[in-house]
Amino acid sequence: MAYIPLTASDREQMLRKIGVASVDELFSDIPEDLRLKSFDWLPPSDERETLSILKGLAEANRAAAEAPCFLGAGAYDHYIPAAVDAICSRSEFYTAYTPYQPEVSQGTLQAIFEFQSLICALTGLAVSNASMYDGPSALGEAVLIASSYTKKQKVLYAESLSPVYLAVVRTYLESGSIELIPVKTARDGRVDPSDLSSKLSADTACLVLQNPNFFGVIEDGAALKKILGPTMLVVCADPNSLGLLAPPGSYGASICVGDCQPLGLPMSFGGPYAGYLAVSNDLMRKLPGRIVGRTVDCDGKTGFVLTLQTREQHIKREKATSNICSNQALCALRSTIYICLLGKTGLKNVSCACLDKAHRMAEAACKNKGFSLRYTSPFYKEFVLDCPSNAAKLAEEVFNRFGILAGVPLSRFNPQDSNGLLISVTEKRTGDEIVGLSAALAQVAGGLK
Amino acid sequence: MKEKLIFDYTRPGKTGVLCSGPAGSPERHLPADLIRKDYANLPEVSEVETVRHFTRLSQLNYGVDSGFYPLGSCTMKYNPKINEKTASLEGFAGLHPMIPDSLAQGALRLICELQEYLCRITGMQACSLQPAAGASGEFTGLLMMRRWHQVKGTAHKNEIIIPDSAHGTNPASVALTGFRVVEVKSNSQGWVDIEALKQVVNENTAGLMITNPNTLGLFDGNIRQVADIIHAAGGLVHYDGANLNAIMGKCRPFDMGFDIVHMNLHKTFSTPHGGGGPGSGPVTVTKELRDFLPGPIAARSGDSFFMDHDLKHTIGKVTGFHGNFAVMVKAYTYIRMLGSAGLKAASETAVLNANYLLKLLDQHLKRDFPQFCMHEFVLSGRELPNGVHTLDIAKRLLDYGYHAPTIYFPLIVKEAIMIEPTETESLETLDAFASTMVRICEEAAANPELLKQAPVSTPVRRLDEVNAARKPVLCA
Ligand SMILES: Cc1ncc(COP(=O)(O)O)c(C=O)c1O
């Protein structure tokens, strides 16, 4: 049998030692009427056959490698340096578990400590945990922190928050008494300041702001924080944008979350990614999940341990700050290596390239008759293109005729929004691909009319 | 510290992987106040130094590939290399989650078939692969209970019963979903105490969550009765599948009376633990609960596959997209390799290995339960001589080149040592580990300082956790 290293005589010897005649005797606590009579529904396959089955399944998809990918909305086709895969393939990293025994887990622990430090540097906040399941669940937990810390039940959120994130936040709030209140998006694509002022009240726990927002627009965080005053600001940010954009801590965010996918994680049909979650110092003991701290061993040597564990489920049980146990450590490691490999200039270069190419794409697309940018505010690597006809149909045609994944039609989230196409442009998109998409849109729109 | 921090390698001007920026400054597109001023305290290190840094860090670690890792409740079985290869195939790794269904037929087929396989294994009728880990699966199951009671008009039911042997995530998930935890005692046999259960069941009972085999590694033979009692009170029963590796092909949660099951692909189905994750925590349910699942779920229509968003009572989404897809690819690969007979053999061997190891050890450490164990067992260090504790045994094992077992869990056994060998270990490994354990027990009697000072051969020795928490340094 695959992966079982016992011989028939080993089994005999072991059964004899235990003092039973058959393995079935070991299952004698299972009542007779619960025992399965048969379990035969899938033949085994050897490694070569299995690989060919899986290759067949993989090839039945249209991956980014064969179709230029302008899809975003929370997952992005960024370049991943070869060294990220090389290092993460080291089985000392990927076959270990949570560093419960710090003496033999310093590699994982120090890498997490470095991850936490990098997240603090990017976000401008004081404390980060070791990772969450993904960006959306990190935001769910962030809202719970804000409400529990302020003891207030009203949570404002910018309507320009990703619907993917909003859906998960709603699930996290399902059972509590927190009320989610939307704040309108103004015509320029940013939060409407007057709507924010009018909805702000003494029992507001926080404002949840995505920046850049779901439509790619960069918000004026500082101006919004001014309106908020002492009310907490929770920011959800694409960490890849933070190579260039002002860190949320600098404009008054107390909590910053996001998804590490744009930092060296393959799109993999939606996961695994890693959420990051950083807070200001006063919220440190409200953090969910694992946190690594620096300390010394009994010889005075510096080392790292899991710390502040009295927040966690294995100690506090129903009083824990969260139920999270396993997190997404290996994904966080990938992001750590990604940031280190790119470094200060590299990450800035990637951010600037995204910004630049997105603007080139927008400019080219808007030269086509009937296409225009929906919002006038500054944007980062995504923008909403208003199309002259149904965006979903247009995108489908562009793929069928030109093999380009043109963007995510906003009708996926809001059926009334039939003409909006959310286009995402990473540093990987070439000049030819940008020109190609623009030309394809023009041709298909002309034909569809 | 054996290896300095990556930040300490920085010298201004060094770059790692070449990646060129655009000509022209970002101010062309953005007002200056949106741009960061400090450019972040990120490292400036070359590629080779970065690679060496992380390689050295990896060498300070211990994984399943380094040696025996008997961490109870975590099922640290061997992670087949083919899994890594299939999950990184470009057709999977390069696939965007928002791509139209028609362009992701292979991925959807894989998801759909994996849903079906997990239903086969648990006996249930519908599945969602969306939860990201075990605790995420618990959260999902409990929210489904909540929604179920709302739909049935029994929304007042606000109590979830869990055994006192339960894992910490169980009560934490109960609290996170707005229920009240009601604990039920275990009897001297390690099973749920039926009389105690009857005492705590009442008209507010919304459901029960339980692991079986339980966290003592024992199969609770009264499980059907436990489920019946909860059902009679109008509650639902959730199976924490952390210990599913004991029973594949032997019995099924559905037949035990469960309504909801969550599994851990990172335990039972051989996907690596990643130094803490990612895992994956699929949920399977009875047909009555299908429409409550987090959606979308994959479905077939003839030869094609699609994401079905039409779940009337869905609890909504628990993760952003479809869950940890690459982990699913690994689990699917594993199941295809083994086939159903191989899964059954895996469980039988896991139980054989555990009982064999228990037999070799139970003369040396306190054993509270006389039954055969399932895939793991719990001993206690509470009768060790000379003030030696379970912690000391664990640390001494590190000196002998092993990972330690799970310790101080479950809470109902004092000084617990929880050992799970898994089916992927050889007889030689089990024998060698057992003789090391016996030797350590002898050391505890003859030379206890060896244990109390341990470990001495690891990259660092016992760390000051008290000070780490009192004066936290969490960032460079
Ligand atoms: C019995 C039991 N339940 C739940 C969990 C939580 O699972 P996860 O870490 O995947 O969230 C564990 C994990 O070790 C466990 O052993």
Q: What is the pLDDT of residues B251-261, one digit of tens each?
A: 999 999 999 99
**Which atom belonging to ligand 1 lies closest to the Cα atom of B211?**
1
Chain A residue with minimum CA distance to B340:
A42
Which residues 353-372 of A are in CB contact (within 8 Å) with B?
353, 355-357, 359
Structure confidence at residue B15 (pLDDT)? 85
Omega of the bond leading into A5 within 30 degrees of 0 (cis)? no
* CA distance to A322, B126, B174, B379, per residue, from B293 (Å): 22, 8, 18, 38
Provide the sign of the torsion angle of the four alpha carbons B333, B337, B343, B347, taken in this order. negative
Is the distance from the beta carbon of residue B135 to the nearest atom of ligand 1 less than 6 Å? Answer: yes
Chain B closest CA to A373's CA: distance in Å? 15
> Could you give the maximum distance between any two Cα atoms of chain B, in Å?
76
Chain B closest CA to A195's CA: distance in Å? 22
Residue B210, H or E segment: strand B205-211
**Which atom belonging to ligand 1 lies closest to the Cα atom of B215?**
1
Q: Determine the length of chain A.
A: 449
Which residues in chain B have Cβ-Cβ distances shorter than 8 Å to A98? 273, 275-276
Nearest to B71 by CA among B402, B468, B350, B391: B402
Rounded CA separation B23/A397 (Å): 34
How many A-B residue pairs are in contact by the CB < 8 A criterion?
691
Question: How confident is the model over A162-203, as pLDDT tens digits?
Answer: 999 999 999 999 999 999 999 999 999 999 999 999 999 999
Spacing, Cα B134 to ligand 1 middle (Å): 5
Q: Do A60 and B105 touch (CB under 8 A)?
A: yes
* CA distance to A399, A417, B441, per residue, from A438 (Å): 13, 21, 73
- CA-nearest residue, atom 14 of ligand 1: B74
Spacing, Cα A27 to ligand 1 middle (Å): 23
Give B20's pLDDT tier (boundaries 50, 70, 90).
Answer: confident
Spacing, Cα B293 to ligand 1 middle (Å): 20
Structure confidence at residue B1 (pLDDT)? 74
Pocket test of ligand 1: the residue of B264, B265, B267, B273 to mutate, having most ligand atoms within 8 Å of its CB, is B264
Rounded CA separation A316/A310 (Å): 6
Q: Are A285 and A311 in contact (CB under 8 A)?
A: yes
Q: Are B211 and B137 in contact (CB under 8 A)?
A: no
Chain A residue with minimum CA distance to B309:
A412
In the numeric block, the tokens 């992987």 are attached to B17
B142 pLDDT above the threshold of 70: yes
Average pLDDT over residues B190-209: 98
Provide the sign of the torsion angle of the four alpha carbons B166, B167, B171, B176, taken in this order. negative
> pLDDT tens, position by position, for chain A (449 residues)?
789 999 999 999 999 999 999 999 999 999 999 999 999 999 999 999 999 999 999 999 987 778 999 999 999 999 999 999 999 999 999 999 999 999 999 999 999 999 999 999 999 999 999 999 999 999 999 999 999 999 999 999 999 999 999 999 999 999 999 999 999 999 999 999 999 999 999 999 999 999 999 999 999 999 999 999 999 999 999 999 999 999 999 999 999 999 999 999 999 999 999 999 999 999 999 999 999 999 999 999 999 999 999 999 998 999 899 999 999 999 999 999 999 999 999 999 999 999 999 999 999 999 999 999 999 999 999 999 999 999 999 999 999 999 999 999 999 999 999 999 999 999 999 999 999 999 999 999 988 65
Rounded CA separation B416/B425 (Å): 22
Which residues 373-432 of A are in CB contact (within 8 Å) with B?
378, 396, 399, 405, 408, 412, 427
DSSP of A336-405, one letter per residue?
HHHHHHHHHHHHHHHHHHHHHHHHHHHHHHHTSTT-EES--S-BSSEEEEEPSS-HHHHHHHHHHHH--B
Structure confidence at residue B16 (pLDDT)? 87
Q: Are A267 and B91 in contact (CB under 8 A)?
A: no
* CA distance to A5, A30, A255, A356, per residue, from B346 (Å): 11, 17, 45, 54
Question: Token pair of B92, please?
Answer: 């999977």
**Which residues on neighbouring strands pair with residue A294, listed in sequence order?**
A304
Question: How confident is the model over B305-322, as pLDDT tens digits?
Answer: 999 999 999 999 999 999
Q: Are B213 and B224 in contact (CB under 8 A)?
A: no
Spacing, Cα B263 to ligand 1 middle (Å): 9
Question: From start to end of A213-291, where are the E strands?
Answer: 232-236, 255-259, 275-279
Q: Is pTM beyond 0.90 here?
A: yes
Write down all domains in chain B, each with its CATH number in brackets: 6-60 (no CATH), 81-339 (3.40.640.10), 344-470 (3.90.1150.10)
Structure confidence at residue B404 (pLDDT)? 98
Spacing, Cα B76 to ligand 1 middle (Å): 13
Q: Do A63 and B20 touch (CB under 8 A)?
A: no
**Which residues on neighbouring strands pair with residue A423, listed in sequence order?**
A383
Write down all domains in chain A, each with its CATH number in brackets: 82-338 (3.40.640.10), 344-448 (3.90.1150.10)
Q: Do B275 and A303 touch (CB under 8 A)?
A: no
Pocket test of ligand 1: the residue of B69, B71, B73 to mutate, having most ligand atoms within 8 Å of its CB, is B73
Is the distance from the beta carbon of residue B165 to the nearest atom of ligand 1 less than 6 Å? Answer: no
For A382-405, b where at least 16 C-beta lie within 10 A, e where not — what string? bbbbbbbebbbebbbbbbeebebb
Q: Are B378 and B165 in contact (CB under 8 A)?
A: no
Q: Are B334 and B83 in contact (CB under 8 A)?
A: yes
Residue type, B311: L
**Which residues fall within 8 angstroms of residue B185, CB to CB, at 6 or more apart?**
B163, B164, B193, B196
Rounded CA separation A109/B265 (Å): 24
Which residues 271-330 of A are in CB contact (within 8 Å) with B?
271-274, 284, 290-299, 301-305, 307-310, 312-320, 322-330
- In the three-class reduction of DSSP (H, G, I as helix; E, B as strand; rest coil), residue A432 is classed as helix
Rounded CA separation B309/B298 (Å): 9
Q: Are B35 and B26 in contact (CB under 8 A)?
A: yes
Chain A residue with minimum CA distance to B85:
A51
Chain A residue with minimum CA distance to B27:
A352
First to last CA, chain A: 61
Mean pLDDT of chain A: 97
Question: Token pair of B284, please?
Answer: 């399977």
Rounded CA separation A303/A133 (Å): 26
Rounded CA separation B269/B272 (Å): 9
Mutate to test the interface with B, among A11, A22, A54, A298 (most CBs of B within 10 A): A54
* CA distance to A140, B13, B456, per residue, from B395 (Å): 38, 44, 9
Q: What percent of chain B has pLDDT over 90?
A: 96
Which residues in chain A have Cβ-Cβ distances shorter than 8 Å to B326? 266, 268-269, 271-272
Question: How confident is the model over B352-384, as pLDDT tens digits?
Answer: 999 999 999 999 999 999 999 999 999 999 999
Q: Are B376 and B354 in contact (CB under 8 A)?
A: yes
Mutate to test the interface with A, among B321, B327, B361, B466 (most CBs of A within 10 A): B321
Rounded CA separation B460/B3 (Å): 11
ipTM above 0.85, yes or no: yes
A25 touches chain B (CB under 8 A): yes
Is the distance from the beta carbon of residue B133 to the nearest atom of ligand 1 less than 6 Å? Answer: yes
Instruction: Please name the residue ranges forming H helices in A124-263.
Output: 135-150, 163-173, 193-199, 221-228
B452 pLDDT above the threshold of 80: yes
DSSP B184: E
Which residues in chain A have Cβ-Cβ distances shorter than 8 Å to B33? 222, 246
* CA distance to A222, B319, B445, per residue, from A248 (Å): 9, 24, 58
Spacing, Cα B273 to ligand 1 middle (Å): 12
A448 touches chain B (CB under 8 A): no
Structure confidence at residue A448 (pLDDT)? 67
* CA distance to A51, B269, B398, per residue, from B427 (Å): 29, 22, 21
Burial class for B231, CB neighbours closer than 10 Å (0-12, 13-18, 19+): middle
First to last CA, chain B: 14
Nearest to B180 by CA among B151, B150, B156: B156
Chain A residue with minimum CA distance to B180:
A318
Q: List the single residue in B143, B275, B463 with the smallest CB-CB distance to A174.
A: B143
